[in-house]
Amino acid sequence: MKNLKNILLLALGTAIAAIGLELFLIPNNVIDGGVVGLAIMASHVTGWKLGVFLIAFNIPFLYLGYKQIGKKFAISTIIGICFLSLWSAFFEQFPKVTDDSFLAAIFGGVIDGIGVGLVMRAGGSLDGTEIVAIIADRRSVFSVGEVVMFINLFILSGAGLLFGWDKAMYSLFAYFVISKMIDVVLRGFEESYAVMIVTNDPFEITKQLNDKLKRGVTLLHGAGGYTGDSKEVLYTVVTRLEVDKLKEIVLEIDERAFVTIQTVHDIVGGRFKKGH
């Protein structure tokens, strides 16, 4: 059942991504980054179908992904690339929505980013450069984001030589929009935050967070590194809209409390729900 759900999600995500590419970006010579961007340029130069290059260019990266990340990831990526190739051939016959490159970069980027985000939610990828970036992150001092950006600088430079530098700048803007929309799909519109509170009044704060925010709180037993005095550390997760209220509750009870707040990228299990 889960495998069927993932396949349907891959089909939906790639269909949406193909709409963004074929009806907005590609007709206006605005490209995505990574392997998709390379495939778009190769298709433009040769006149061959985009799907041919999507599959051909991703083959070496799929092998790396299978070896370094896992079989499930590789299979989901293969299915996703095949779906994208088919959807691309289907939507290619439709006329482009706009002749304005700026509008194409915005709306094409939003639509493409939503589609790619859904593919990633299904456990796959459409961009082989991400696989290289993940491997490089494990074996070097560079982060995934830094490696992807470095690779895309060369790809977008190629777009500048092929389509003109104004199109390359639109492509850079589209790439930025795509990356932001992927984040929205993967993390949701309402981000969650993990909060740790060091306080001398843990039980009252716990009670107030339970009553006013309806949030569960975990008590961690610790000790001050300098004094050696025992300390209670509270741990909870709240939404972005609840952060200010949480700080207000804590500081009303203990104005000397120490609070740290960090973004949470994913939550699995428990009873955490966004909204009430």
Which tens digit of pLDDT belongs to each residue from 199-222? 889 999 999 999 888 888 999 887
pLDDT at 10 over 90: yes
- On whether both 157 and 176 belong to a single domain, the answer is yes
Angle between helices 71-91 and 2-20 (to 10 degrees): 40
**H helices present in the chain, as ranges:** 2-20, 34-46, 50-68, 71-91, 101-121, 128-139, 144-163, 165-187, 202-208, 243-253
Angle at 7 between CA 5 and CA 9, to 5 degrees: 70
Q: What is the CA radius of gyration of the chain?
A: 23
Question: Which among 159, 187, 215 is the end of a domain?
Answer: 187
pLDDT at 241 over 80: no
Q: Which residues of 226-238 are buried (b: 16+ CB within 10 A; e: fewer)?
A: eeeeebbbbebbb
**CA 56 – CA 69 distance, rounded (Å):** 20
Average predicted confidence (pLDDT) for the chain: 84
Quick one: pLDDT band at residue 144, thresholds 50, 70, 90?
low
In a domain, 15, yes or no: yes
> CA quadruple 110, 115, 116, 121: dihedral positive or negative?
positive
| Same domain for 208 and 233 | yes
Is 179 a member of any domain? yes
Total domains present in the chain = 2
Same domain as 208, residue 163: no
Residue 214's SS3 state is coil
Query: Greatest CA span in the chain, whole angstroms?
Result: 72
Q: What's residue 268's pLDDT?
A: 67
Q: What pLDDT, on a 0 to 100 scale, did the predictor assign at position 172? A: 87
Domain stop point among 165, 187, 209 = 187
Is the whole-model pTM more than 0.85? no
Host domain of residue 64: 2-187
230 or 82, higher pLDDT: 82
